[in-house]
Structure formats: structure tokens, C-alpha cells
Structure 1
Amino acid sequence: MHKEIDPVCGMEVDPSTASYKTLYKGKVYYFCSSLCKEAFEKNPEHYLKHGPQGMPHHH
């Protein structure tokens, strides 16, 4: 079964059951939670350049 990697926290996400996803530059990214989705959408280039950073925290 194919898994996608959450670009924010690095967790494996099953695209067929993922509730959170976003389209960026023609590619779909999948997330384990709304927190990860929001973090990615605020600064997608950071995560694509540096890789997963762990779970985002609210300040």
C-alpha cells in the first residue's frame, strides 16, 4: 500500500484515508492533522527545502 510522507512532521499518511491535503505547485501533499496542513500552507517552501521539522507547536 502506498504511503505519503507528511512534509511537516514526517509521519506516514495513507492518501486514501487522509483528511488533510493541499495542492501546491501542481502536487498534492497529505497531512496527519490540520496543524501540519496550516503550518505547510503558511510556509511551504521552508518544508520543501528543509524537510520535515517535527510536529508544529502553537505559540
Structure 2
Amino acid sequence: MIDPVCGMEVDENSQYKTMYKGKVYYFCSPHCMKAFQKDPEKYLKEGPKGMPNE
């Protein structure tokens, strides 16, 4: 699995995951998960952007 926000490799056992449009997305950290949840279409259309600034 690839984190859709930062592009890191993520294990599907990650505790950070969310469902969007019927698909589960996995994240390396709560920061990436929150960034995705704020604007999922941005990451799905444009691809990973690196670690979010928080």
C-alpha cells in the first residue's frame, strides 16, 4: 500500500486508515490521514505531495 498523501509504503495493518467512496486508504501517520480527509480529491487527482505541514 502507498500512503496517498506522502507516498510512503504503508502496511495494511496501519492504525491510520479511512474509507472514501467505498475504498479504504491507509496512511503512515495521523497527519497524512487528516490531510487526506480534508481534501481527498486533491490527493487522488494529483498524487502524493510529501509530508503535510502541520
TM superposition score category, shorter chain reference: over 0.9
Which residue does the alignment assign to 1:42? 38
How many residue pairs match? The answer is: 54
Q: With the length of structure 1 as denominator, give the TM-score of the two structures.
A: 0.90
* Bigger relative contact order (CA 8 A; separation at least 6): 2
The question of 1:22 aligning with 2:18 is answered yes
- The unaligned stretches of length 5 or more in structure 1 are none
SS in structure 1 at match of 2:52 = coil
For the pair shown, which has the larger CA radius of gyration, 1 or 2?
1
Question: More strand by proportion, 1 or 2?
Answer: 1
Q: With the length of structure 2 as denominator, give the TM-score of the two structures.
A: 0.98
- The unaligned stretches of length 5 or more in structure 2 are none
SS in structure 2 at match of 1:5 = coil
Shift of 1:39: 0.0
Runs of at least 4 residues of structure 1 off by over 2 A?
none
Q: Distance in 2 between matches of 1:32 and 1:53?
A: 14
Fraction of identical pairs, as percent: 69
